[in-house]
A = this chain, B = another copy of it.
Amino acid sequence: MARRQDRAAGGTNGTPDGGKALKRKTTPTISDVAALAGVSTATVSKSLNGRDGISPTTRAKVVAAAEQLGFRSNALAQSLLSGRSYTVGLITNDSFGRFSIPVMLGAEDALQAGQIAVLLCDGRDDPIRERHYIRTLAARRVDGIMVTGRRADPRPPITLDFPIPVVYAMCESTDPRDASIVPDDEHGGTLAVEHLLATGRTSIGHVTGPSDFRAVRLRAAGAEHALRRAGLSLAGGGPLHGSWSEEWGRQAATILLRARGDLDAVFCGSDQIARGVADGLRAAGCAVPDDVALVGFDNWTVMTEASRPPLTTIDMNLPLVGRRAAETLLASIEGTATSGTELVPCQLVVRESTRV
């Protein structure tokens, strides 16, 4: 199956650390430090943790001994005693795809600041697997659980048979008593259309994904609100629903142009669709942004930058979603629980496709 590369050096060395091995057999414990410093473990603990009631001389002695031994306090023992593991579980069902990752990074960053580590659990949309993970996390006595996933309709809450704070990021829980953090899709749709209106466009189409996605409906609603406030409505009579693909974007471009000769802008439900629309428009001899302006959704740079021209788009601030989820979870762990859904605002990112 795999082949091993020949190497001049190191091939004969069977130990994991090679010449880097240290003399020490096991990692030093607080008792080792105590023995070396000639004090009790209690004194070591207090010295190293900055408790007062320790004379500067003793403290210095202990610190030196700890240093010399390379002592690192055993977090497991600390957790056992404190009852807090300073760990949270992160369950995803997006297989850490395009949407989960930024959320996860934002969350990890916020948690790490609180000295909290993250245990990874890839649920793979398998409820059994998810149950298994929840049991594992329970056994490990995590302080909280964060559930994230692909963007879709609200999901049933995870079932715990023990009381641990849970926060849902990106994927809302159907139980309104749970805390969920999601992007404000409706607001995103509004932002996109308001930008198009502000640049003087009036005949605006909307090409988007399947209508059974809640996000699709919300973005369209936001767009239509903005239009209505301007006394307008969607070109083509309503959103054009299709798949989340460039191919659909290409087709939709043709459809829109045929239906409305005066089309001067298209707001798309994703950057992938937008890129397809851009290609479709160009193939039809229609210039972007001179004839038709284009706004995408997601700010997925792979698409926005590769598109010709680069796409103006809506950024969902996913790292912020993750960060807020982490903060909410932390607060909940500290005892200040929240419930309900928090919407994180989207942001307009302007590029050439809406140049005036």
A residues neighboring B (CB under 8 Å)? 1-5, 7-11, 13-22, 24, 27, 70, 72-77, 79-80, 85, 87, 90, 95-97, 101, 104-105, 108-109, 117-120, 122, 135-136, 138-141, 160-163, 165-166, 175-177, 179, 184, 245-247, 272, 302, 306, 324, 332, 337, 339-345
**A161–B85 contact, CB under 8 A?**
no
* A105-B101 contact given A139-B72, A177-B13, CB 8 Å threshold: no
**A70–B177 contact, CB under 8 A?**
no
List chain B residues, Cβ under 8 A from A109.
122
List chain B residues, Cβ under 8 A from A4.
340-343
**B70–A76 contact, CB under 8 A?**
no
Give 12 A-B pairs besides A16-B337, A70-B161 with Cβ atoms closer than 8 angstroms: A3-B343, A5-B342, A10-B175, A10-B177, A13-B339, A15-B337, A72-B162, A73-B139, A75-B139, A95-B101, A247-B306, A272-B302
* A343-B2 contact given A18-B177, A139-B75, A141-B75, CB 8 Å threshold: yes
List chain B residues, Cβ under 8 A from A76.
76, 79-80, 85, 140-141
Ordered by A's residue number, 19 sampled pairs between the chains whose C-beta atoms are within 8 Å are A2-B324, A2-B343, A3-B342, A4-B342, A7-B340, A7-B341, A9-B177, A10-B175, A16-B163, A16-B179, A17-B163, A18-B177, A20-B177, A74-B141, A96-B101, A97-B101, A101-B101, A104-B120, A109-B122
State the oligomeric state as a number of copies. Answer: 2
List chain B residues, Cβ under 8 A from A77.
80
List chain B residues, Cβ under 8 A from A97.
101
Nearest to A144 among chain B residues (CB) is B16
**B96–A135 contact, CB under 8 A?**
no
State the CA gap A86–B224 with chains docked (Å). 53
* A10-B340 contact given A17-B163, A120-B119, A245-B306, CB 8 Å threshold: yes
**B138–A14 contact, CB under 8 A?**
no
**A74–B16 contact, CB under 8 A?**
no
State the CA gap A63–B190 with chains docked (Å). 58
List chain B residues, Cβ under 8 A from A16.
163, 165-166, 179, 332, 337, 339
